[in-house]
Every structure is written in C-alpha cells, then in structure tokens.
Structure 1
Amino acid sequence: MRAARAVAAGLCAALLLAGCDAAEGPAKPFAGQSLDVAGTWTGAEQANFERVLRAFGDRTGARVRYTSGGGDLGVLVSGQVAAGVPFDVAMIPQPGVIARYAASGAAKPITGSAAEAVRTHFSPQWQRFGSVGDRLYGVYFKAANKSVIWYRGDAFTAAGVTPPATLDDLTTVSQTLVDAGTTAMAVPGADGWPLTDWFENLFLQLAGADAYDRLAARQLPWTDPAVVDTLRAMGRYWAAPRFLQGGPAGALQTTFTRSVADVFGQRPRAGMLYEGDFVTTEIARLGRYRIGDGARYFAWPSVDGTGGAIVAGGDAAVAFTDRPVTMALMAYLASPEAAAIMARRGGFLSVNLGLDAAVYPDATTRALAESLQRATTVRFDLSDMTPAGFGGGNGASMWRLLQEFLAAPGTDPATVAARLETAAAIAYGGA
C-alpha cells in the first residue's frame, strides 16, 4: 500500500509540476525562468543536491543555480535579503533563523500545492518543526539523527564490552575500555557545536521532553536545577581520566574530522565518538572500517534503558520569493522522488513518509532513517532553535561557554549555568 501511495503521489506531483493534465502532454511551464538556491553543502553533498535541482529543471524547464555558503550561509542569505535580491530558496538548518525571517516578512509561507505536498509526505511533528506559529515555512528536505554514538567493533571486542543501554552503563563501558588500554571517547571540542549536542542529549534524557521544550522556548531559565544536573553529568564524564582523547585540553583542539579519524582512521586512538548519522560519509572516506561492520553505532543511552528519545537536526527549504516557480520547487523538494535522488547516494537521511527505505545504500543508513520515523519522542536540536547569537554559529555564547567548560570540567556547574542564563537573556532580548 505504501508503494502504491508513493507511485500515485509521484504521478500527481509530476502532473502538478508540469502544469498540465495528462491530455496536454509533458509541457515545461517554467522554461526560460531561473531560480537561485543557497545552502551549506559543499563537495559530494553539493554535487548530489545539484542532481536534485537538475531533475527539477529537466521536468519544468527552469534553470536552477546553487550557491554554497558553507559555514557562512547565514551571512550570505541575510546579505542578499538586505540588498533586496534574496535567493529564491535557502536550505536553512536553524528553526530559530527561520522564525526570524518569518517575523520580518523575508521568508514566504508555503502555499498551494507545495503546502499540500508537505502535508501529504511529512508527519505532523516535522510539519511543526517547519512552522512558525500556525504557518508553514520550511520543508525538511534533509534530516539528521543526532542521538547515536559510533564505536569500533574491534575495540569493544578486545575490551569485552557491549553497547550500553543506560548512562551508567556508558560510564562503565568507558572505564572498561580505558582499563583495556583504549581511550574511551573522541570529542571534537574545537568545533563547538558537538558540545551543544552533548548537552542536548543529556538534558533530554535527564530532564525529559517537557523540560526540553520549555528550555527551548525560554520558559525555563538556564539556572534551573535540571540544567545544572546536566552540566554536572557532562563535567564528570569529561574530567574522568583517559575518557577523552587527549584529555579536555586535547579535545578542545580536536576538530570534527580529526575526531572521526581518531576512532576510525588508519591509527585509531579512541573507541567511541558521539555524533550524528552524518559521520558515515567521513568514516567511508577514511577507508579502513566499513559501516555496519567495523564501524557501528548504538542509540544515545537513556536513564533507564528504555530509549526512544532522539535529538534531530535538518536542513529546511525556505522560500524567499513567492513566484509560482519557487513554490513548484518547494513542492518538488517535498516529494519522495527528490529525496530518493540523494538517499540512494548515501550520507543523507529523509523523513519523507513516501520514500521507499530500500533506496538507501546500506542497512545502517536505512536503520538510522527508520529510527527517526519510529521514535516515540523527537526534539529538534535545541541550540538551532535559539537566537543565532546564543546557539547558532561560530562564536555563539552557548558554543563558547561549553568550550570553556570543556577546558575546565571541574568548574562549578551552577556557575556555568548562570553564565548561560546571562548570555541567553542578552541574546533573546535582542532577538
């Protein structure tokens, strides 16, 4: 039945985008029109996304140009908006940024057939992630499962351990790895954002989904005891002897790509790495450990071993013009067909309900994607929902303060919480 629905939806989308009925034939209603799209993706991700855009162009006649802003996407997009020549569509990773553009009127609500495509192919949860108030602004074309810990199978076998189910078990496994001569965890502290992901996963497990929502909505202060308890748990793990590759000081100098190599490179040093599903691309590039064999993952441990809560991320297509060709592209990006183009090439997860999971290139990626669909509790990356000055980029207060905490994990957690609260008050006050 799912396959039948997907075929039917695909046919409807094809006719919709062609701008004709079956009797009229394959017209190309947007021939000669151009679209400009921006995103963070570079390299293989950019090449794969450009395949999606070319497929849209082949179907509709539109010419689509992609510009990569990399880590400076926010500056690029806001600059174009300020100059009065916005990109037609931008792939934005932060709901907080989407909300800011919606409030200013720069982002355009998704309407018509594009809105119907989102309602058809995305769960209510992911529709809410793309909404501001009761209006839909974002199509979550790419998703990320940020609640997984990767490990080397040979390191676990040598130490005689199995993947932990609880946070206490994680500490026990880490200590056993250390006792067996392997550093427990590589932590890419130099990049900042992985530390916010550490906090978010721990906070979701320790404080629960309701507290997570309230903290994200600025209804719970950062000085709340649940925040202090989460910071205390982080500091305790980070300060443990040989738990972190290079110790806290070394972790602070470790980039994301270096951390992957420290676990899965030619000369591995640590047994585990916490980060999202997207590390598979980097592991594969290193070439030593195969995904699902030597390189495996387990879900972020829960308090009681029941699991089920996931911190997710993603890139949402947001329209900055409301031309018919723009909304046609938004509708296409909400289709299973567009998702399949990237999904079959790896390094990509979709939450499009119409996508056939068989298109994923391996069982590990397929399982990660399905976990996002099955999860009983999914919450979006908390730092991405805050004002950019607090949690949304290089130099943001949350990034910087957690890096300082990593450098000195023995710092009183209440002091760190108070600094976070002060920074949040400033950032939200000026949002």
Structure 2
Amino acid sequence: MMRRRTTLLTSCTALALALGATACGGGPVTAGGGDKSLSGQTVTVAGVWSGSEQKNFQKVLDAFTAKTGAKTQFVSTGDNVSTVVGSKIEGGNAPDVVMVPQVGVLQQFAKKGWLKPLSPTAEQTVDADFAPVWKKYGSVDGSLYGLYFKAAHKSTVWYSPDALAQAGVKPPKTYDAMLKAGHTVSDSGLAAFAVAGQDGWTLTDWFENIYLSQAGPEKYDALAAHKLKWTDSSVVQALTTLGKLFKDKQLIAGGQKEALNTDFPSSVEKVFGPKPEAGMVYEGDFVAGVAHDQFQRTIGKDADFFPFPAVGGGTAPVVSGGDAAVVLKDGKNAKAGMKLLEYLATPEAAAVWAKAGGFLSPNKKLDLSSYSDDVTRATAKSLVGAGDSVRFDMSDQAPAAFGGTKGAGEWKLLQDFLRDPSDPKGTAAKLESAAAKAYQD
C-alpha cells in the first residue's frame, strides 16, 4: 500500500533526475557490511505490503541477505499497523523493523518510546542523499527515527490507452474535463472509473487531491495539522466536488455498491485485467506495479497515466507519500535491524525494487536508469519537478485513529460518504468530530 510528503529539492536532485544519472557524484554506498558479518542472525520485518509489493520488497531483503548473511522474515500486518505492532510488543514478540506507512503512526510509535533513533551511519546517509523533507517527516522532537525507503506519487490517474482511444478521448487537463471525458468513455461501453471503496485510504487520496488543488496548499497544511476545522467551507466544497463523482452511476464501475466491495488490486484489475470494466483508475504510481506484475501490461503501451488534473481553477495537485523503516527497541535483533536500515538507505537497495517496478525512491543518488520503464521515470520527474509545492498525504499526517485505521475515522466516514454523498456538510461535521477526538488523544 502506499502514501505521502512535502519536498524541497536541491538543484543537485533536479540535475540528477534531468540527466537520468547520478549527477551528485559518488558511487553506490554500501552499508550493513559485505562480509557476511550477520550470518546466523534473523531480522523480522513487519509491514502492510502484500501481493506484488511484498514480493518485490522480498527481493530487497534477499539482496540484504546475500550481502550480510542475515536471514529475514517478513510479516504482513494488514492496514492496522499500529494495532498489530502494539499487540506484538505487548505479547513479547516485537518485530525488529517495521515499515510504517503513515507519519502519524511513526510519531505515535516514537512518543510511546517504542523506537530506536537511527544510527549515525544511517543519519549521515539521509543527510547526504535525501531531500531535507524526508528527514523532517522521519523525525520526532528532533530525533530521526524513520528512513523513507519507498515514496509514492499519489497524483496520477492511470488509464487504458485503448479504452480512451476507442472513445476518442485524450488525457484531460482539468477535473471537469476529466468527468466529461469519463462520460464519453462510458458512452463507448466501459465505465469511466474503477473506485476501490473497500479500502478507505484510496478515498482519502481522492479527497486530498481535490482539496489541495481547490483550496490551496496553505489551507491543506492547516487542515493536515487540524489548525483548520473540517467544518470549514473549503472542506464542504471539496466533498461536494467529490460527491458529484461518487453519485454518478455512469462514472463508477458497478456504481457505489460495487465500489464499496472493490479493494485496490481489484480496482486495477477492472481497468487492466482480462475483462476490463472501466477505462481509468485513480491511484498512485504503484498502480503500474500491479498492472505489470499481475496482468502483464506493458507500462507506457497498455497502461499509462496523466497527472491528476486541476480542480476549479486551482493548480494541478501533487500529493506524495511513503513508507518509513523504523527499528523497535523491543525487537530481539534490533542491532541487525539497524544494519538493514543502513542498507535500505543506499541507492543499491533502492535499485533492486526500482528494477522490479511499482516503486519510487526518495534517494537522490539513485540513477534513473534503474527504473524499468520510461513511464516510471516520468513519474519520478513529475514528483521531483513539483518542488516545494508537493504535499505529504494528509491522512498519513493525522493520528492513526483518524487517518489510518480500517473501519474508523476518515477511512470509514468517506466510505459512508461514497455510499451516500447527499450531505457534504453533515459528513464534514462527522469528520471534525472524529478528528477532534483523535488529535486530543
């Protein structure tokens, strides 16, 4: 699964991406040793990933094993990372490393005293090879706890070129034009969008892109920090905009009821699977990994994307996200776990998953040629090129009880809104009530 960030990019980063090469000097940094110094040890890693994402991350873990001799064991937590990890710690079975998909969860873990600060080696690599924003989001009260290994570009709308060509539609530049194009696709025999309403996090991403473009970055930052209430008129306006899509049965494959029974992988299947039901699916760059790995679609030919379009006269949004590796104090092998983080900080580790697909690295030393296709390179350039206008996924910045828990908070309330989008003002009030409680706790 995937998630978000704000970013200040150095000219060195931009140059590296523009040249498609390591423009900042230095070859791959090795970490964790190359002498099998961890032979006989096992590192347990917990994370939300499943399916192709878990498979590709395993390739990174296998490369770590080949380098250090340490065995690894991956444990999938499902969406409720906070609850699962908390119960494992209480049961005396804490993993060594957790891949945390939300800033709010990382902050929660740190404040509970569960995390070890990153080693000097890892922190030095972050300072040298990552834009400052990644350190900011990995830090709590001045201490660096999280290494952002995987980034996501959450402002990409993926489509079947054949479906759009058959409808005579070109990638739109505005939100209204996207809905109009969707009706044209629908008239040609396919629904416009597959919506993964069973996964609440996809609905928060829809909202965030609309809100960032329509309300602007200042209000986005204020709402993310709960310095602006969810009852603000800007929130009601964004929900109204989103509701127009949700209630249009021509635009959503199977209508609202089917959308609520569609998870993220299934939404990708509805567009790129053997029996297409829709022409487009909105989600992050990781759609490419599913389309390629599970449905053998050639990225750039059978599957492509256009940037999430500007809403209501605003600028096109760029919402980002990411998964941070943290080391738990109570893990049985935290020392080897920290060696894994030192390895994950290197371009060498990032290149393993980059080659496999469905992955973006925030490491500016990663050579763009490591990515397996031009579309992913274009996605990376789009993310980096947005500069400091990028915003980290809002729900991932919130306390987990509000922004990152299945069946609760924002995830559930937006699912309720998908089911019945007739009362944006009432939904805003419920969101504010849930947010106020979560931020107070």
Gaps of 5+ in 2: 1-14
Higher mean Cα deviation, 351-360 or 255-264?
255-264
Q: Is 1:382 matched with 2:394?
A: yes
SS, match of residue 117 in structure 2: coil
- Which of structures 1 and 2 has the larger relative contact order (alpha carbons within 8 angstroms, sep 6+)? 2
* 1:77-111 deviation digits (Å, cap 9, x = unpaired): 21232245532211110111100111111112223
In the TM superposition, 1:269-308 aligns within 5 A as: 269-285=277-293, 287=295, 289-303=297-311, 307=315
Distance 2:188 2:86 in 1: 51
SS, match of residue 315 in structure 1: strand
1:143 to 151, 166, 169: 151
1:404 paired residue number: 416
* 1:215-240 deviation digits (Å, cap 9, x = unpaired): 11111110011101000101122223
Distance apart, 1:119 and its partner CA = 1.1
In the TM superposition, 1:23-422 aligns within 5 A as: 27-285=35-293, 287=295, 289-303=297-311, 307=315, 309-321=317-329, 324-376=335-387, 377-409=389-421, 411-422=422-433
1:425 paired residue number: 436
SS, match of residue 79 in structure 2: helix
Distance apart, 1:334 and its partner CA = 0.7
The 8 Å contact of residues 223 and 230 in structure 2, kept in 1 or not, is answered as yes
Distance apart, 1:29 and its partner CA = 4.3
Distance 1:305 1:243 in 2: 22
Distance 1:43 1:159 in 2: 32
- Looking at CA atoms only, which structure, 1 or 2, has the larger radius of gyration? 1
Distance 1:417 1:394 in 2: 19
SS, match of residue 325 in structure 2: strand
* 1:285-339 deviation digits (Å, cap 9, x = unpaired): 4547432113211000013788553111221101113955333322211110010
The Cα RMSD (Å) is: 2.4
Opposite residue 355 of structure 2, the aligned amino acid is R
**Corresponding pairs, count:** 419
Distance 1:388 1:354 in 2: 32
Distance 1:50 1:257 in 2: 19
Change in CA separation of 1:57 and 1:259 when aligned onto 2, cut-off 3 Å:
closer
Distance 2:22 2:424 in 1: 54
The 8 Å contact of residues 388 and 396 in structure 1, kept in 2 or not, is answered as no
Change in CA separation of 1:171 and 1:139 when aligned onto 2, cut-off 3 Å:
same
* 1:255-285 deviation digits (Å, cap 9, x = unpaired): 3233222222222222211111112233224
Change in CA separation of 1:395 and 1:357 when aligned onto 2, cut-off 3 Å:
same
Per the normalisation by structure 2, the TM-score is 0.88
* 1:41-84 deviation digits (Å, cap 9, x = unpaired): 23443343233233333433434333232335433321232245
Opposite residue 363 of structure 1, the aligned amino acid is D
Higher mean Cα deviation, 334-343 or 380-389?
380-389
Distance apart, 1:162 and its partner CA = 1.0
* 1:12-47 deviation digits (Å, cap 9, x = unpaired): x33x643xxxxxxx6554444443222222344334
Opposite residue 425 of structure 2, the aligned amino acid is A
Distance 1:294 1:48 in 2: 21
SS, match of residue 309 in structure 1: coil
Following superposition, which runs of at least 4 residues in structure 1 exceed 6 angstroms of deviation? 4-7
Distance 1:40 1:255 in 2: 14
SS, match of residue 26 in structure 2: helix
The 8 Å contact of residues 269 and 295 in structure 2, kept in 1 or not, is answered as no
